[in-house]
Amino acid sequence: MGNNMKFTELDRYLFGQGTHYEIYKLFGAHPGTQRKKEGVFFAVWAPHAKAVSVVGDFNGWNPEVNVMKCDNDMGIYQLFIPKVREGDLYKYCITTQNGELLYKADPYGNYAEMRPGNASRVVNLEGFKWGDTTWLKNRQNFDPQKDAMSIYEVHPGSWKKHPAAHEDDPGFYNYREFAHALADYVKEMGYTHVELMGIAEHPFDGSWGYQVTGYYAPTSRYGTPEDFRYFVNYMHKNKIGVILDWVPAHFPKDAHGLADFDGTPTYEYADPRKGEHPDWGTKVFDYGKNEVKNFLIANALFWIQEFHIDGLRVDAVASMLYLDYGRENGQWVPNQYGENKNLEAIEFFRHLNSVVLGKHKGTVMIAEESTAWPMVTGKPEDGGLGFSLKWNMGWMHDFLEYMKLDPYFRKYNHHKMTFSTSYAYSENYVLVLSHDEVVHLKCSMINKMPGLGQDKFENLKAGYSYMIGHPGKKLLFMGQDFGQYQEWSEARELDWYLLGEESHQKLQNYVKALLAMYKKYPALYANDQNPQGLEWINADDASRSIYSFIRWSPTGRNNLLFVLNYTPVEREDYRVGVPKKKQYKLILNSKEPEFGGDVHKEQTVYKAVKKECDGREFSFAYPLPAYGVAVFQF
C-alpha cells in the first residue's frame, strides 16, 4: 500500500461528498512501511467517538497501547502500528461519549476470523496474478439486453460438502476446490453465469448471507480473499461470469458490527421509524448521509475492481424504496411530499448504477424488486433507477400458481401463463426460480408439481420449457435442474445421489438440452426487449391447456415455434397455424428416450400446407404427446 497512508484534504473532501470511489484503499487495515519500519496502517470513521484504539493479539487486546489519532473534525481516526503482520487479529475499541467501550470489527476489513469468532484479520490484497485479461476485454462488449444469460444460483456452503471430520467440522469446500467442481458442472450444464449467495462476511449461517457484517470481506468460511480471487479467476478462464448477491438494504444488530458503530447511529438512520426493519430485526442504512453512501458505492466498485466480479444482484430493493415497507401506520415517516417513497434511496440507486455501469462497461446491476415500481431498468436521466436487469417476480408467481394446479383445473387459469407477455417489455427482466421459492415449506420445484411419480417430472419439463421460451434472462437455483425432492437447507449438501436414478438423470439431460438450445438460437435472447420478438399463435386454447407461440430471431433466420401441452391428454394430430408455407424442423421433443420419454424421432420435418388454423392460412399437424413439448425451427 506504499508509504503515504495519510488522508489528504482531497480525500476528506470527496469522502464528505460521498464520491471517493476508492475510499477502501485508505480505510481498513493496509500493510505498508513508515520510516523504514514494516507494519500496518489502520483507519476508521467514527464521527461521534470520544476515543478509538486498535486492539489485537499483537497488543494483548489492551485499549491503552495503540490509541489512534483523530486529525480533523470528520471523525477519521488513523494509526500506523509497526510489526503488525498479515494474519493478525484486530478490532477497534471505541470509547463512546458516555465512556462505554465498544469492540467493533473493521467496517472496511478485508478478511475476518472464522465464525463464531468475529474479529477482523490483517490481509494484504496486493500481489495476486490474474489470468482473465481476455475475459475482461470481451466483457466490455457484453450487452445484457441482447446477449444470452442463463444463471445458476448457488449457495457455496451447501452445494457440495466434504464428510465431516469431527462434530464441529462444517465440511465446506474451499474456494479453490469449489472453483474446479462448480466450473465443471456449470460447463456441462451450459449455464453462462453463476450467482453466489453469502460471499460477504456474515455471522450466522442461517441468514444465508443476507445479514452482512463484513461488506469488504469474502467470508472466511471457504478460505482467504486470495482463494476467492482464485475462484473468480478460474471461472473467467472457463468463460463463466460471476454475479454476487449484494445487500445494501439492511445490516444486523450484532455487537461487533455496524449497528450504533460509535455509540450513536453512524451507518443507520437515527429515527428508528426509518432506521429499523421490524420484519427482519435489522438496521437500515442512512441513504441521506454522504459517508454512508460512499461506503456502499465504493463497496460495489470494490468487488468489481478488486475481485473482477461481473455484476451484483441487489437484494430487497423494494424495502429500500418504500418508507412504509413492512411497517404499520405510525411505524414510518413520510417524505417531504407526504409520500411513502424514500427519495434518498432513489437518489442512491441512480448514483450507484451510473457509477458502476459507467466505469465498468459490460458489468450488470440486477434488482430484486418485488413491486410494480416503474422504470427500475430505465435510465436515471429519464427518471429510472438505472439497473441493467430486474427480477420478474410477477412471472414467477403466476407461473408457479399455474404449474401447481391439477391439470384438470388449468383450463380455468389459462391466462396465468399468458399475462406476463403483456408487460414483458416494460423492464429488462430476468425470469427467476430462486432459492426463495424452495424454502420455508414452499416445497422443492419437483414437489410443487401435481400428480405422482413420472407425472411430476413431465410437468416440470413442460414448465422449464416455457421459462426458456418466454422473453427474459433465466435464473435457476441449484438442485432444481435435477429434481431435488427436499427443500433446500443451508445446513446440508444437495441430494446428488438422486442422479443415480433414471428419472432425475433424464430431467437433468432435458435441462441441459434446453440451456444448449437457448445459447444456440438468438431468437431466444436477442429480441428479449423487442415486442416483435414474441408472437402468439394461440394464446387462448384454454380447454386443452395448450400454448403455441413463435420467438422471432432478429435476422429472420432460425426462428422457433413452441407448442406446449399442460395436460396428460395426448393430441394425436394437433394442428398448429404457422406464418409461412415453409418446412418446420423438430429440434426439441420432450418425449425422447434420453429425457425419460418413449417417443423416438420418427419424423423431424413437417411441411406446412394451405389449411386454415389459428386464424392463419397455413398449418401443419403434429402428434403432441401428454405433457408434450415440441420446438420447431424454421
**Which positions are annotated as active-site residues?**
315, 368
Q: State the DSSP H helix or E strand holding residue 619, giving kind and residue range, or none if neither.
A: strand 616-624
What distance in Å separates the CA atoms of residue 274 and residue 76, rounded to the nearest whole number?
Answer: 26
Cα dihedral sign, 524-527-530-532: negative
- The whole-angstrom separation of Cα 425 and Cα 44 is 45
pLDDT at 150 over 90: yes
Q: Are 465 and 629 in contact (CB under 8 A)?
A: yes
Distance CA 313, CA 30 (A): 28
Decide: residue 281, CB within 10 A, 0-12 exposed, 13-18 middle, 19+ buried.
exposed
pLDDT of residue 5: 66
Q: Is the model more confident about 412 or about 602?
A: 412
- Max CA-CA distance within the chain? 91
The DSSP element (H or E) to which 386 belongs, if any, is: none
Contact status, residue 154 vs residue 476, Cβ threshold 8 Å: no
State residue 1's pLDDT score: 40
- Rounded to 5 degrees, φ, ψ at 233 are -60, -45
SS3 of residue 632 by DSSP: strand
Contacts of 395 by beta carbon, 8 Å cutoff, 6+ apart: 420, 424, 429, 431, 470, 472
Cell readout for 365 is 446491476
Neighbours of 406 (CB within 10 A): 8
Report whether 633 contacts 616 (CB < 8 A): no
Please give the residue that has the higher pLDDT: either 523 or 603: 523
Q: What is the pLDDT of residue 601?
A: 66
Domains and CATH numbers, the chain: 9-121 (2.60.40.10), 148-505 (3.20.20.80), 531-633 (2.60.40.1180)
Nearest to 346 by CA among 313, 372, 380: 380
Average pLDDT of span 42-68: 97
Enclosing H/E stretch for 575: strand 571-578
The x, y and z cell numbers of residue 381, run together, are 436521466
pTM of the model: 0.95
Residue 214 binned pLDDT confidence (cut-offs 50, 70, 90): very high
Mean per-residue pLDDT of the chain: 95
What are the phi and psi torsion angles at 124 (to 5°)?
-105, 120
- The CB density around residue 118, as the number of other CB atoms within 10 Å, is 21
Tell me the C-alpha distance between 373 and 394, whole Å. Answer: 12
For residue 380, whether the previous peptide bond is cis, meaning omega lies within 30 degrees of 0, is no
Mean pLDDT of 347-358: 98
Residue 43: strand pairing partners: 28, 78
Query: What contacts 174, CB < 8 A, 6 or more positions away?
Result: 222, 223, 227
pLDDT tens digits for range 505-528: 999 999 999 999 999 999 999 999
Beta-sheet strand order (sheet of 605-607): 534-541, 546-551, 560-565, 629-633, 583-589, 605-607
Confidence of residue 2 (pLDDT cuts 50, 70, 90): very low
Residue 278 has pLDDT above 90, yes or no: no
In degrees, to the nearest 5, what angle opens at C-alpha 452 toward C-alphas 400 and 591?
80
The pLDDT value given to residue 600 = 67
Q: How many CB atoms lie within 10 A of CB 250?
A: 23
Taking alpha carbons only, the member of 394, 402, 442 closest to residue 422 is 394
Spatial contact of 319 and 285, defined as CB atoms under 8 Å apart = no
Q: Is the pLDDT of residue 76 over 70?
A: yes
